Every structure is written in structure tokens, then in C-alpha cells.
Structure 1
Amino acid sequence: MSTQPDHGQELIPRPERTPEVVRVALARIAPHRLGEMERHKEQALTAAIADGKIGHLQHWLTYWHAQVEIERRPDLSARYRAALASVHGTEGRDDPAFRSGMNELTAVEAEAQRAVSA
């Protein structure tokens, strides 16, 4: 019996936390985001070289592992997309719907982070 909570049908199993495995998982479930992932990796690598700290690359991998978690789980993906639509459909930062959408985005990302950190 699994100790993981039931989130409905997952598109793929949760990948291991390695750069190549996370990239392959993203390619399977959200290939349209590979360019974004690569640009973010180049920024992290440039920052790591500039200041000599590997933390930039660790952050990059953690971020994309969580993004794969969102994409692989229809429950999180639906919430994430609805929140994005809410944020982009508002009149600005003073609109209560903007704050609500941002709160939901933060909640979805936090849930994904907890899932991949467990």
C-alpha cells in the first residue's frame, strides 16, 4: 500500500532529482517548456560561475523538479493554470482577483515543493 496521497491519475511517475532525469520528464509531459528550462539553466550556470556558488544550480534543479511535479499531476496543473489565468485576467495588482490568483500560485508551488522534498 502506498503512503503517498492520492492525487488522481499522474501522467508519469515522479522523477529522480537529477538534471537529466528531470529534463527527460519535462520533455515527456511539457515539451513546450524545454526552452524555458534551458534558458533558466544558462542563467543559473552563469551566476554560479560568476560568484563561485553552486547554490544557483541547486535552486534551478529544485525549481524544475517542482515544475515537473505540477505538470505531471493534473490536479496541480489545473489549479496552476486557473490561477495564472486569474492573475493575467485582472485589472492590475490592486484587483482582489490578482491577489487571490497569486496566493493560489504560491500554494500550488509550495505543494509541489513539499512533494518533491519528501
Structure 2
Amino acid sequence: MTMPYMHEDAPLIPRPALTLPALRQAVATVAPSRLSEFFEDLQNAFVHAGDEDSVVPIRMFYRRWGVVVEIERYPETARRLRAAEQAITDRDPAVRDRAIEEAAHIVRSAHREVAGG
């Protein structure tokens, strides 16, 4: 059975606001190796926003990186997600199924937290 999302794992930083400066600082703190990905996604979001004449791609960018930070600010939760992502390629279907369930649980829980729920 999967463990609850934020069990005894203490957050490294407070949950940031869904703003560019707050998310940039949070990513730099909890997932510095992902900063180039963050900036590439930011650039793509603004290109898509211009192409679509819509702010939706920018809002989706903020939400996506809010979820990334929500997971990464809890080291044990981030470790569990990485382990589940690795196990998804296991040859054993039961292991893959458990891994998919675990990863989905973590990501859904992070989305709920970021959404304020």
C-alpha cells in the first residue's frame, strides 16, 4: 500500500507562490539541476501564449512547476517518486502496476496541494 503523500517528511522550504520569482527561487533551492528545464519551459510557455493569444500556457507553466516544487520540497516524497518512475520499467507487471499507482498518488496529491485543496 502507498504511504500518505506528506507523511513524516518535513518540507525543505515553505510552499512558494505561483509567481515567476517565487518558483524560480524554489526550483533553484530544491531542484537546482532542473533550472535549465524550468527556463526552457518558461520560454516555450511564452511562445505558446503568443501563438495562441492566450495566458493559458503561462498558467499551465506555473501550475506544472508548482507541482514539481511541491514534490521536491519533501525529500522523501521526491525519492519515492523517482523510485516509482524507475520501477515503471520493471519487467514484472505487478511491480509496474504498483509503481504507476505510487507515482500517480504522489502527483495527484501534489496537484491538490498546489490547487489549495
Q: Same fold by TM (over 0.5)?
A: yes
Match of 2:108 among 84, 107, 110: 110
Gaps of 5+ in 1: none
Q: Which blocks of at least 5 consecutive residues in structure 2 are unaligned?
A: 1-5
Kept in 2, the 8 Å contact 1:7–1:73? The answer is no
CA distance in 2, matches of 1:111, 1:7: 15
**TM-score scaled by structure 1?**
0.82
Equivalent residues of 1:83, 1:102 under 8 A apart = yes
The alignment of Structure 1 onto Structure 2 pairs a total of residues equal to 111
Task: State the TM-score, normalizing by the size of structure 2.
Answer: 0.83
- Give 2:77's aligned amino acid: L
Which is bigger in relative contact order (C-alpha 8 A, separation at least 6)? 2
Q: Secondary structure at the match of 1:16?
A: coil
Aligned residues of 1:17 and 1:61 also touching (Cα < 8 A)? yes
Aligned to 2:13: 12
The amino acid of 2:30's aligned partner reads: I
Residue type of the partner of 1:103? E
What stretches of structure 1 move > 4 A for 4+ residues in a row? none
What does residue 83 of structure 1 align with? 84
The percentage of counterpart residues that share the same residue type is 29
Correspondence list, 1:1-118, <5 A: 7-87=8-88, 89-91=89-91, 95-118=93-116
Q: How large is the RMSD of aligned CA atoms in angstroms?
A: 1.9
